[in-house]
Amino acid sequence: MRLPALPRALLVPALLALAPLPAAEKSAADAAFEAARGAIVTSNPAAEPALEAGFTFLLGFPEDSRTRGLLPALEALAERLPEAARAGYREAYARRIAAALARKDLPAAAREGILTGIASAALSRQLEAEQPDPAALAAPLRALEEQFPASRALPSLRLGEAKLLAARDPEAGLARMRALAASPDPEIARQAAAEVRLADLRTKPLDLKFTAADGREVDLARLRGKVVLIDFWATWCGPCIAELPNLLRVYEQYHPQGFEIVGISFENSGLVDEETRRQPRNAGRPLDTPEQAAAKLATARQKLLDFTAKWKMPWPQQFDGRYWDNEFGRQFNIRSIPAMFLLDREGRIVDTNARGAKLEPQVRRLLGLQP
């Protein structure tokens, strides 16, 4: 389950997961948005209706903030179509894009949105690729920079470009990240600084300390000499749950030899605080009282503990109920889950994506076991 700069798998839910408005409160933009959402999220999407509804919303209401993830959502729709229909859908999607950009009367906001969508989709594809290619982002990013140099999307895209570069050339990528850490955009500066810290943690031990949801005290310094996997996850994350059988198998087999897992839960307590109240659909909602906040946190904590008991997950779980604003998630710039940091016996990060078939061979190697 990825997060942006970006990656489309979280742009899509952000775009599409809002509850429908009552009919009496719907504007023309609301109706167009809901038509697009309905055509895209249906369990059995049809190519042409989805394209028609999506581009009607995009071109009709280009300044609506809900268009932000629309093009990545439309592009990703190809993967949910029957295999025989995918090539035709992608061609039709490309024709729609080309026709829109060729219009001389295309509103600037729509043009910027389309160029942003193209660049975001290119970035998503490369971030998900086995061998990321920074050059694949260069042309769409430059097109956006040349036509809309003040675009609010540019800092995030440049951050993504630096990540791609780091995958090919760590030193060049780190230099780009250090430059972005001085960005006037505070969120981009924070993310870039976190990436720089992660790079540094490949050369020195990671320090992390907390009281787990079940009351255990966790301190990575006490686990030196062990091979440790830090699993950033949540009970609501489908890919995280899909990874659990592999985690449980590897833990059971290698825990006696010195393999440990520490969970960092992105559980959502549903608190209404100042940040969530800023969202348009929460405008006017009162903040939770201290009693309501405590009750929501307790419910979410118990949900986590019940889940780990059901799945027989013996390792400790950090919980703060802050969802994507999780304390350690922000510290380590976690933009997608599951994220799995594998540490060697000295506590240094050796991999930030130790998932699936990659996990067991790396654990064996770090434990000094035969291949």
Residue 135's alpha-carbon distances to 75, 122, 143, 174, 229, in angstroms, are 20, 10, 13, 17, 32
- pLDDT at residue 333, as a whole number: 80
Residues 6+ apart with CB under 8 A from 283: 277
Cβ neighbour number for residue 322 with a 10 Å cutoff = 18
pLDDT above 90: residue 357: no
Give me the pLDDT at residue 72, please. 84
Are the C-beta atoms of residues 355 and 340 closer than 8 Å to each other? yes
Residue-level pLDDT at 104: 93
158-168 mean pLDDT: 84
CA-CA-CA-CA torsion sign (190, 196, 199, 203): negative
CB-based burial label for 354 (10 Å; 0-12, 13-18, 19+): buried
Radius of gyration for the chain, computed over Cα atoms and rounded to the nearest angstrom? 22
Tens of pLDDT, residues 195-232: 888 777 777 898 999 999 999 999 999 999 999 999 99
Lowest mean pLDDT among 87-91, 176-180, 183-187: 183-187
Helices (H), the chain: 8-16, 28-41, 47-60, 70-76, 83-102, 108-127, 135-147, 154-168, 170-180, 186-200, 238-254, 274-277, 290-310, 327-331, 359-367
Backbone angles phi, psi at 314, to 5 degrees: -80, -10
The CA distance from 63 to 69, in Å, is 13
- Cis amide prior to 239 (ω within 30 degrees): no
- On the question of pLDDT at 171 being above 50, the answer is yes
Q: How confident is residue 370, by pLDDT bands cut at 50, 70 and 90?
A: confident
- In this prediction, residue 283 carries a pLDDT of 67
The residues, ordered by sequence, that sit 6+ positions from 53 with a Cβ below 8 Å of its Cβ are 32, 35, 36, 38, 39, 40
Q: Quote the pLDDT of residue 361.
A: 93
Question: Yes or no: is domain 209-367 CATH 3.40.30.10?
Answer: yes
High-pLDDT (> 90) share of the chain, %: 51
Q: Which two tokens stand for residue 318?
A: 């950090």
- pLDDT, one tens digit per residue, over 284-317 is 778 889 899 899 999 999 999 999 999 999 999 9
Mean per-residue pLDDT of the chain: 86
What is the pTM for the complete model shown? 0.59
Top-confidence residue, 325 or 221:
221
The pLDDT of 64-68, averaged and rounded, is 85
**With contact defined as beta carbons under 8 Å apart, do 73 and 40 qualify?**
yes
Site of tokens 């067991």: 360
Confidence category of residue 18, pLDDT binned at 50, 70, 90: very low
Domain ranges of the chain: 8-200, 209-367
- Predicted pLDDT at 13: 40
